[in-house]
Amino acid sequence: MLLAALLVGGKASATSLALATSARSLGANAFSAGAWALYLHNNPTPPVGNTTAQFALSMTTTASTTAALSNYDTDCDAVAGRVLVRGTALSSEATLCKYANWRTTTYPTARPLSGTMTLRIWCRKTGNGGTNPTLSAYLRAYDPVAASFVDLGSTSGAVTTNSGAAFAQLVLTWSLSATVPAGHQLELKLVAGGGTLDVNLAYDTTTQLSRLILLQQPAS
């Protein structure tokens, strides 16, 4: 029931927000049994208008309060949201306009991730028809001191919604048994590959609440 309340629909329910900000979730940088959600933001957040492409964005337990979707990468395209140009689709992708990434705050102690992680990302293709591109999502532990990463898991799925249609949710899942070390951050990195069209992302609005959700298993 808890996971269902978090996963259903595009808007956050009162139940999901309460879980996300409860003492047993990320409010005190502590994970335990239960469910929590991390919402993907732009910079600044709440969004106030168009921006150039921003990187190392935040993901927090606070849902967006902004209604309108702005262009989050004016230096890459003239489309509302964030466009990921198809590239290597690898976690090492470092080319401007080909990736987007979000990080939590730094955890003072190690944080185990044991359970099912779900990404609900609003997206569509940048055109109609063609061959569907693939959106790949990587979870990584980021060391801000060494500026290095450790991959924790990856997942991917085809983006099938045409640009003329409303953004649709793509649901991607991981089964995790990993740990974010002390002094590190949890990072989500998105890249696109394959197909003949690029991927248009929407997030940080009240109707496009793109988010990570973890159903955390109790410690054994």
- Alpha-carbon distance values, 92 to 143, 147, 167, 190, 205 (Å): 15, 13, 27, 11, 28
Domain-by-domain residue ranges, the chain?
2-216
CA-CA distance, 83 to 69, in Å (whole number)?
13
Report the chain's terminal Cα–Cα distance, integer Å: 22
State yes or no: pLDDT of 11 exceeds 90: no
State yes or no: pLDDT of 154 exceeds 70: yes
Backbone angles phi, psi at 27, to 5 degrees: -55, -35
Q: What is the pLDDT of residues 84-117, one digit of tens each?
A: 999 999 999 999 999 999 999 999 999 989 889 9
CA-CA distance, 32 to 41, in Å (whole number)?
24
User: What CATH number was assigned to the domain covering residues 2-216?
Assistant: 2.60.120
pTM of structure: 0.85
State yes or no: pLDDT of 195 exceeds 60: yes
